[in-house]
Structure 1
Amino acid sequence: MKPPTPVVANWALVVAAVLCNALAQLLIKRGAPAGLLPLAHWLDLRLAAALLLYGISFLLTALVYARLPLSLISPLMAGAIFVLVSLGAVCLLGESLGPTRLAGAALVLAGIALLARDAG
């Protein structure tokens, strides 16, 4: 089996970074206590997992930024995270998206498609 091309490897890093970041945000929502005290409430496995995923996302994002144009990849990743977190909030947390939020997500997806098209 041939090793992945640099283009495929770069986009795999993008996908992994985006997924780690989005999942971390969903885990924070599930695990975060409503108040600062008692401190024991902050010792939640979901929060620890979120912290680990954020760390992994940071490392992967740094690799991506070193390899791809920032003006392309930063808005693309941010938009993808926005859409994934919104979908995860609906599917996993039971939140709802009204027409305005759905329209906003559609515009973000359109922007991602334009950025990806420009990437070649």
Structure 2
Amino acid sequence: MTERQECVESPFARTRVQRTIAGTVAFSLLIAAAIGTRSPAPQFPPIDRIGMEVDLNRAAARELSLIPGVGPVLAERIIRDRSLRGDFQSIDDLARVHGIGPKTLETLRQNSFIRPPPAAPRIATSSE
């Protein structure tokens, strides 16, 4: 005769599994809440919001990239052109930089300036 064995589950085993599941769910919710409340990386506001102007002949790439419409790549192009061809005499000179068109020139007019180069010192001559 075949003997049947019944599997009797202990009530303690069931509650241990339930506690493990509940703990895992609670831990997952805490992690999700922590990730969801993390603040994003700070963003620099565009210059038109902070009311500052940039000297196009003196500014570093980081300063230039704060101008609306000028990102890091265009800022590097401006600096490269400035170092190869010399200081800009007017904002219109920036049209020679690849990637700067009429719209960007207009934005640059509103958010930047060009300081004239310092006057060369006068050397006294004998005829003076």
Classify the TM-score, shorter chain. Answer: under 0.3
Q: Which has the higher helix share?
A: 1
**Which structure is richer in relative contact order (CA contacts within 8 A, separation 6 or more)?**
1
Name which one, 1 or 2, has greater alpha-carbon Rg: 2
